[in-house]
Amino acid sequence: MIVGSQVNPEWWRSGVWNGRPIGEFLQRRDVAAVFRFLHARGVSYGRIAALVGISSNRAAEIAKGIRQVTAYEVLERIAVGLSIPRPAMGLGRDAGTRVGGDSDVVAADSGAHSPLASADASVEVGGLARLRLGLDEALALTSVAPQQLELIEESASEHMTLYPSASPQVMLSLLAADCREVQMLSLRRQPAAVQARISGVAALLATMCADAMMRLGDAAEARRWYGTAIHAADDSGEARLRVLVRAQAAMLPYYFGDPTQTVALADAALAVTSIASSPAALAAAGRARALARIGAAEQAESAIDQARRLFDQAGDEDTDVAFRFPVKRLLFYLSGAYTWLGDTGEAYRIQEEALRLYGAAPAVPIDAALIALDRSMCLAQDRRATEAAVTARDAVADLPEAQRTEIILTRATDVTRAIPEESRPGEVAVLTDYVRACRESARRLGTTAAPGP
């Protein structure tokens, strides 16, 4: 029975599961068996989840053996939430339990000849033995099961595959659960190799959260998440990852801030290691685009050459997975660089090639939209105001509504500002009204956080 929707504590003393006392499963900390035991008694996984502070899906996965529980804090929450006596799971005494007993006391004469016998009276062999046992237990408990770590890494990999085509709100919802799990694992000491892998996953999850916040226009929160990503990447000790998160963080001030900060962050990314990599090519390409935007033409041209050279050495093959850098993404960045340099002829050529590679129905719609908006900027520079406005409007309208986020709307606003005042009636006015309507709709949907003009 369930008393007041709570688990009956008597179950843990007299309950039987699969013909054996439930206490045996508690001693082994077999949480899967414990959850199945409760479920068989009418306690839903949703209720179990609520009692122990995890999601219902995670509770079901634990019960099926898909996930394991090893973190000490989680085991403690399970014991408290399910009214399991802590000693039954080897978690120490419950509050109020009497200290003492035969197993806790060393005979008076057993330490008479011990080297410690003449030491400070507060130090005793029994106490040190218990301390050692507790330390052994803590070291064992803080190790993550290989299967659990692999599942977390697989989940992060799945997020990176989904991320480019999903709306930022959907991704933030999906990422939250894994961020919580990684947080719990990181709260306890882990062996160095395990901690490095956990930190690597944390860096990727935090970078996706940061990028999603940036797309929504929440620059302040994105900046904080990028800071977390950089910290985690540094903790992982993986040079390639350290370059990647810095290169990604460099994009934030390009869209929502001072592009000179993009140059500084990209320089920091390139300084991590001299080994060529696709993240280094990304950093160089982002640096080139920012230099062009601030009018440093000669430096931008040099950075373009560096990006091409690094890509030739270590660029990625064609893929739509997040944070990879295939040739179409290189062209995306070079499109921006040549647009800001005012070399519209080269920009048009690169944009056409990039959009061809992304395809008619791009898996990464935001990249294709931003390339089209670069094209709109080129048309505005060439004083083709009507074409610029129509191209920009189509770029926004072709996106699913949930993808018309602030990063897109800000770039569309840049197009209207690039068109001379005397050329703004007609289609340009239509674009301005359309962007305003999209921004209002985005606020209702919760897909923007930045104030619009």
Task: Give the amino acid at 66.
Answer: I
Question: Out of 18-27, 84-93, 216-225, 282-291, which region has the weakest mean confidence (pLDDT)?
Answer: 84-93
- How high is the pLDDT of residue 93? 53
* Residue 359, C-beta contacts closer than 8 angstroms, at least 6 positions apart: none
Percent of the chain exceeding pLDDT 90 equals: 53
Confidence of residue 131 (pLDDT cuts 50, 70, 90): low
Coil, strand or helix at 53: coil
Residue 235 falls inside a structural domain: no
d(CA 421, CA 116): 89
Q: Note the pLDDT of residue 69.
A: 83
Q: Say if 225 falls within a structural domain.
A: no
> What mean pLDDT do residues 247-276 have?
96
As a whole-number percent, the residues of the chain with pLDDT over 70 amount to: 83
What is the model's pLDDT at position 112? Answer: 40
Strand partners, 21: 16
Q: Look at residue 130 and tell me whether its pLDDT is greater than 60.
A: no
What's the domain count of the chain? Answer: 1
Q: Which residue has the higher pLDDT, 134 or 199?
A: 199
Range of the domain at 9: 1-91
Does residue 294 lie within any of the structural domains? no
Grade residue 1 by pLDDT with cuts at 50, 70 and 90.
very low
Average the pLDDT over each of 273-277, 287-291, 442-446 and give the range with the smallest value: 442-446
**The pLDDT value given to residue 325:** 96
Contact 434, 425 (CB under 8 A): no
Is residue 169 included in any domain, yes or no? no
CATH number at residue 28: 1.10.260
What is the rounded distance in angstroms from the CA atom of residue 315 to the CA atom of residue 306? 12
More confident residue, 77 or 388: 388
d(CA 390, CA 433) in angstroms, rounded, equals 13
Alpha-helix residue ranges (DSSP H) falling in 272-325: 278-293, 297-314
Three-state DSSP state, 21: strand
Residue 55 has which token pair? Answer: 């999601």
Confidence of residue 189 (pLDDT cuts 50, 70, 90): low
121 pLDDT higher than 60: no
292 in a domain, yes or no?
Answer: no
- Is 231 inside a domain boundary? no
- Residue 217: per-residue pLDDT: 92
Contact 216, 447 (CB under 8 A): yes
Cα 340 to chain center, whole Å? Answer: 31
pLDDT for position 155: 87
- Given a cut of 90, whether residue 295 has pLDDT beyond it is yes
Instruction: Give the SS3 label for residue 275.
Output: coil
CA distance 392 to 404: 12
Bridge partners, residue 16, by sequence: 21
User: Does residue 121 or residue 256 have the better pLDDT?
Assistant: 256
Give SS3 for 339. helix
Rounded CA gap, 381 and 419, in Å?
Answer: 8
CA 47, CA 425: separation in Å to the nearest integer? 60
Query: To which residue do tokens 């209720």 refer?
Result: 47
Going by pLDDT thresholds of 50, 70 and 90, the confidence category of residue 426 is confident
pLDDT in tens, 355-364: 999 998 999 9
Whether residue 11 lies inside any domain: the answer is yes
Q: Angle of helix 427-445 relative to helix 385-397, nearest 10 degrees?
A: 20
Model confidence pLDDT, tens digit, residues 15-66: 888 888 999 899 888 999 999 999 888 888 888 888 888 887 788 888 888 8
Average pLDDT, the chain: 84
Is the pLDDT reported for residue 159 higher than 80?
A: yes
| Residue 17 β-bridge partners | 20
Does 24 reside within a domain?
Answer: yes
Which residues neighbour 442 within 8 Å (Cβ) at sequence distance 6 or greater?
404, 405, 406, 409, 448
